[in-house]
Structure 1
Amino acid sequence: MQPRQWQQQLIQLLRRRLERNQTSDQDVLVFAGPGAGKTLGALLAFKAMQQQGRLQRFVVFCHRTSILSQWQSAAQRLGLQLEEWPCSDQADGLLITYQGAGRQLEQLREDLRQWGLAGSLAIADEAHHLGLNPDEPDNTAWGGTFLELTQHCRLRLGLTGTPFRADNLAFCAARRIRLRQGNELIEQIVPDLAVEPRELIAAGDVRPLEFRFQDGWVEHSREGMPDRDVSPLSAETRESWRARNLRRAIELGDDSGIGQQLLLRAQRKLKQVRMQHPNAAGLVIARDIDHAQAITTLLEEDGHRVDLVHSQESGAAERLNNFQKGSAQWLVSIDMCAEGFDAPRLRVIAYLTTVVTKSRFLQGITRAVRMTPELAAQEPTPRHPSFVYAPADPLLMGYARTWSLAEPYVIQPKQEQLVDVPSGGSWRGPSLPLEAVDDGASQLIRVRSPQLPGFLRQA
């Protein structure tokens, strides 16, 4: 198997770290966009070091049980014996979830001591989950468990496709440097190897994304009262109103509503895509279970085959696997289709949730960038794009403009927040029901990544 260029760079990076043999070189962080081949790259690097006699074994920590089988399949392709813990003495690698390691810490610690870690590589899959907060260690238990169990490993390799956290915390298997920003000293997470999505797109390793943001107006009103305030979805700057607009925009009403228009356009786009890619499918990311069920009903009434999956359903992981290999046209989910979910037939994403953190948005939309060797053999480079439909929320549109770039993760210094509360009560903002307005609901805002101008200008 011929490694990709960045995977060859990773092999060289690990070799240099092992040759220097310095304690400060224990942690290596790799940022590579979704679809880059992080799992295979880490295993290729270990196997190269094992063949050179520099490493003997490896331990993989994952954040979900549904990802374990993907690691085992990749290891099998390379002739590596990767077993779930508890594993045999003949195994090259041990596989466990962060949660499982925390639940059985004492027994795992003893088994690893007997197994031997001096010549081992610890791999933290999606390392940004391993938060570090010295002030609240109980709230970052996964990070503490990982550090304790891997302290005697020769190297710790962190893999991530979203190298930042919404809570402003640092994370394990990552190098931090101090920089001066104005009059303040800040810390920044610095990947040792960064592979940006735009590089992967240019190489044909993943698909580009085209964005379609559904704009419209949302009306704030009180029933029976004449005061009516119309708020533009895409141009609202008041945070409380922006959030209210989004909550109303994703609701399903009549055909003129923002959410309904978005979903209808996503269905039409998938129909077009399936003319070139017959088994292509769409993913709807919903707000909650009731919302997901309403979306599923709507899609089924339009004649589509739909799989509904959420974490509170027994057998959810099996249903996801069936979708990957099946023929359903749409997958509706809430919290299952993010990191590690690999379904190359996904070509259209409808983002209909109120979650607007950058990490969750990027994890959701990038489910549609993955390729297979079979598809790559049929398509030119750059590949045919996938499409993202979402409400024209200002935050989401901002994330879309930079999704293909690797931006530094700056850990901001803590500052005390002083809140002045006027005497006689506190202001909470308008507590008004929301009503979607027909005016402007059909307007569509297209956002293209400015770094990828040429080949995205296709119909």
Structure 2
Amino acid sequence: MSKARKLRQWQQSCVAKALDYLLLQDGREFLISAAPASGKTTAAIEIAVPLMERGEIETVIVIAPKTDVVNDWATDFQSRTGQTMTKITGIDKDVLSWGTHFCTTWSSVQNLSDEMREICRTKKVLLIADEQHHAAMEASWGMGAQEGGDEAKFVLILTGTPVRSDGAETVWLALDENGSVAHPYEGTFSLTYGQAVDAGYCRPITFHRHVGKFSVQLDNKTRVEVGSEQETKIPKEYERIPGLKNALEFAKLIKQPAFFPHGSDLPDMSGYQASMLREGVAQLEKTRFRMPNAGGLVIANTIEMADYMAKILEKLEGEKPVIVNSKLPNADKKIAAFRRGKQKWLVSVSMVSEGTDITRLRVLVYLPNASTELYFRQAMGRVIRTKDSDDDTRAYVVMPNLNLFDEYARRVEDELPPRFKNESKPKTKKCSVCHTENALSASHCCECAEPFEGRKPEPPATVSCPACGEKTPKNKRNCTHCGENLSAEFVLSLKEAMRSGVIVRGMDINEEDAVKGVEIAEGLRGKLLTSGDSKLVDIVRQLPDESWGRLAQMMENATRPFNA
């Protein structure tokens, strides 16, 4: 077994309290509720080690959120104990003969309950439930964990959010009448985000609420203004269109990619998402003064949006970002390579969330499909991990100006100690090779002559203030010179505004049909929308212009026998 690690103060206290509760107070379930990135994995392994050395347990089983997190557990466990932790999946059988220690994902547990039960009956087991909120009592994952792990000798419950967003009870944790966790104080160790920042375990964070205003073109004469700070007013003649008001919500429009010129696959570099990414690029450049290999993470709501934002980033940065999603192969390997590399951006759709350890991430551009506080805090946790004792960086989140996100952000900000609430600008920059401090204007390191990155990211788009005439970044709420209220305006067509999911591209449509389709759609869309027929409206929402010619041809062919 390798030499014991140097533990943080909270980890030392946590290990001592856990061992006292499990060994001297006859406790079984011990809860570690600690801020994301504070070091829960290390604490749990350090609790397991003395339990193994004293013969209190023979086997450790870990249940974690995702495959890459499971891999990290196996690596960390072997590094500390010298023993192999075998990774198992829901299709594996008779795993008892495979090894001594095991790790798996929550999604696999529902099919492993028999195997887990057999291990717990024949061995003295410590079960570690990482991010335990996945196990709702009525969910199949939770039931699988409960059935399989009910006979474990000890259970360690690790979480940054002990209560699920849906309020459901989770395995091994009950809720009181107020919805709070009802777990014995003696069997609980808590560390808030504010405490973790104050101790230097996590980085302080700044939230940028990204404002904007969309101008949606309903027809040749009518536009509707949709903003993050104003109520949308639909013209009377359009009020009876089913779903229109629902579609013209700021929270939905920000998740719709816009292309320019219209009909192309070129991202609109003056669009809302581009303005968010410009802000993220600027913050990452500033952060790399202090951490030369700092990276940024984009969390997108769909695979289509991830690809769209990746194209924008490539234009802004001059390098392709790493993209990971459920449809691309080797996502775990790409995440691992990004963790070790120097690429600037990682673009993800629900692939980089809880437990994923990429210490160099510092900037998050947040445009997810999920809207819960649980997911918000998990995403935030990806960019707040302290790298080392010299880390003086600050984490930065660029997010839409939505009331719900603002509430979450304010609760996080309220946790921060006063001395961390104000952001300070870097005064020097570090060399990536020798780490010598240099002037911000330096082109080469004064110590080792290593060149600094010469290319500057594209500056934010600006607008002229109508009050004073001075230029102000387009994404700012107020004029930076006179304070005049400003709001960036992003123009969308009605078709773009009413997109639902992915518009089919790459269809085998010839040029003649495509041109004909665009001509038909142009004149027919408005008539269909104002008809009030919900079925026709659904057609409008789903069909790209280019496919209307094919639809017209099919309808014509279908009616020929009746007209003959």
Q: Shared topology, TM-score over 0.5?
A: yes
Q: Is the 8 A contact 1:197 1:404 kept in 2?
A: no
Q: Per the alignment, in what secondary structure is the counterpart of residue 6 of structure 1? A: helix
- Which residue pairs with 1:39 in the alignment? 41
User: 1:57/1:322 Cα in 2 relative to 1: closer, same or farther (>3 Å)?
Assistant: same
Amino acid of the structure 2 residue aligned with 1:189? V
CA distance in 1, matches of 2:232, 2:45: 46
Matched residue type, 1:188? S
Contact 1:176-1:189 within 8 A present in 2 as well = yes
| Aligned-CA RMSD value | 2.8
> Which residue is equivalent to 1:394?
403
Q: 1:317 to 1:339 in 2, by over 3 A?
A: same
Instruction: Report what 1:328 is aligned to.
Output: 343
Deviation string, structure 1 residues 148-169 (Cα, Å, up to 9, x no partner): 1222222211101222222220
Q: What is the correspondence of 1:27-426 to structure 2 with a 5 Å cutoff?
A: 27-84=29-86, 85=88, 86=95, 91=100, 93-114=101-122, 116-117=123-124, 120-133=125-138, 140-178=139-177, 186-190=178-182, 192-219=188-215, 222-224=218-220, 226=222, 229-234=224-229, 244-253=249-258, 254-302=268-316, 303-373=318-388, 376=389, 378-379=390-391, 383-403=392-412
Q: Given the superposition, is the C-alpha separation of residues 305 and 229 from structure 1 closer, same or farther in structure 2, using an over 3 Å criterion?
A: closer
- Whether 2:28 is the aligned partner of 1:26: answer yes
Cα deviations across residues 175-214 of structure 1 (Å, max 9, x unaligned)?
4334xxxxxxx44214622111111111111111111111
Name the CA distance, whole Å, in 2 between partners of 1:367 and 1:142: 24
Structure having the higher Rg: 2
Report what 2:10 is aligned to.
6
Q: Cα deviations across residues 54-101 of structure 1 (Å, max 9, x unaligned)?
A: 43432211222221221122112322524214365873x322223333
State how far apart, in whole Å, the 2-side matches of 1:173 and 1:237 are: 46
What SS class does the counterpart of residue 103 from structure 1 fall into?
coil
- Residue in structure 2 matched with residue 443 of structure 1 by the alignment: 476
AA at the equivalent of 2:348:
S
Contact 2:269 / 2:312 at 8 angstroms: preserved in 1?
no
How many residues end up aligned between the 2 structures? 387
AA aligned to 2:45 is L
1:288-345 deviations in Å (ceiling 9; x for gaps): 1111111111211231231111012121111111111122211111110101111111
**Please, which runs of 5 or more residues in structure 2 have no aligned partner?**
89-94, 234-244, 259-267, 416-462, 466-472, 479-564
Distance 2:320 2:98 in 1: 46
Retained in 2: the 8 A contact 1:252–1:260? no
Q: Which amino acid aligns with 1:4?
A: R
Contact 2:299 2:368 in 1 (8 A): yes
Contact 2:232 2:248 in 1 (8 A): no
SS of residue matched to 2:408: helix
Compared CA separation, residues 243 and 309, structure 1 to 2 (3 A): farther
Q: Alpha-carbon deviation of 1:47?
A: 1.2
* Structure 1 stretch displaced more, 202-211 or 146-155: 146-155
8 Å CA contact retained: 2:226, 2:249: no
Tell me how far apart the structure 2 counterparts of residues 401 and 57 of structure 1 sit (CA, whole Å): 42
Q: Alpha-carbon deviations, 1:236-293, whole Å to 9, x = none?
A: 699x869820221244544443322111121122122222222111111112111111
Q: Which structure carries more relative contact order (alpha carbon 8 Å, separation 6+)?
A: 1
For the 8 Å contact 2:206–2:396, the answer to whether it is kept is yes
Name the CA distance, whole Å, in 2 between partners of 1:363 and 1:96: 20
Question: How far is 1:15 from its partner?
Answer: 2.4
Unaligned runs of 5+ in 1: 134-139, 179-185, 407-437, 446-459
Contact 1:7 1:45 in 2 (8 A): no
Give the Cα–Cα distance (whole angstroms) in 2 for the partners of residues 40 and 400 of structure 1.
Answer: 28
Q: Which moved more, 1:315-324 or 1:42-51?
A: 42-51
Q: Is the 8 A contact 1:258 1:391 kept in 2?
A: no
Secondary structure in 1 aligned to 2:291? coil
8 Å CA contact 1:257–1:441 kept in 2: the answer is no
**How much identity, in percent, do the aligned residues show?**
26
